[in-house]
Amino acid sequence: MAREATLTLAGLPVLARIPEAPKALLLALHGLQGSKEHILSLLPGYAERGVLLLAFDAPRHGERGSPPSAKSPRYVEEVYQVALGFGEEARAVAEAAQERFRLPLFLAGGSLGAFVVHLLLSGGFRAQGALAFIGSGFPMKLPQGQTLQDPRVQALYERPPALQGENYGEVPLLHLHGTKDLIVPLARMEKTVEALRPHYGEGRLARFVEEGAGHAITPLMARVGLAFLEAWLEERAP
């Protein structure tokens, strides 16, 4: 039986779902307008299989404020400012979790959280493996009339994470997507995998596409993701 607790890691409140005998850590990163509670609710069965789940609210999310509004003239810029902040905090939380628990650490992200997973990997963060649910390593298309002022966000468009595959260190990565996703089109995920393929050995970069699924982490995606993590956890075992 797993228990829930709120931990402080890297100075942030982190929701943890802790199994009796944890064998791995999974830092789960939620999407735009999501929360730490929501992303953990989408990963049933993980703790029961010995995965210690960790999640925290991104900047301007959950207990930390209001997400960017699509009505804002700087909406896209604000979204990726959140992503950049989320990525910096995620790295700090992940490192603190590894120090505290001394267990192999995996990453998972949904939608914007998946983009943050790519930010971490392209920045050289070495996880045991990673899941990118309903997301990609390319930023969203800039709407007509919207401009960028933040040079850090501009840099994401000039050199997206997916075009920095040489920095991923072949960290095992599975993309999970639906054929009917209207928020992050399937083609953007496929473009990500295509860009990363030259930098990966056989079996370390994978994709799973669920027919008819939209922009949601489905129970089937969650199960496939867990199987992927367990496979790489076994690979690590002596």
8-52 pLDDT, tens per residue? 999 999 999 999 999 999 999 999 999 999 999 999 999 999 999
Domains of the chain: 3-236 (3.40.50.1820)
Tell me the per-residue pLDDT of 116-143, one tens digit each, with 9 for 90 and over: 999 999 999 999 999 999 999 999 998 8
Question: For 120, phi and psi rounded to 5 degrees?
Answer: -65, -45
Q: Please say if the pLDDT value at position 211 is more than 80.
A: yes
Terminal alpha carbon distance of the chain = 27
For residue 33, which of 74, 1, 64 has the smallest C-alpha distance? 64
Diameter of the chain by CA atoms? 55
Q: Please say if the pLDDT value at position 203 is more than 80.
A: yes
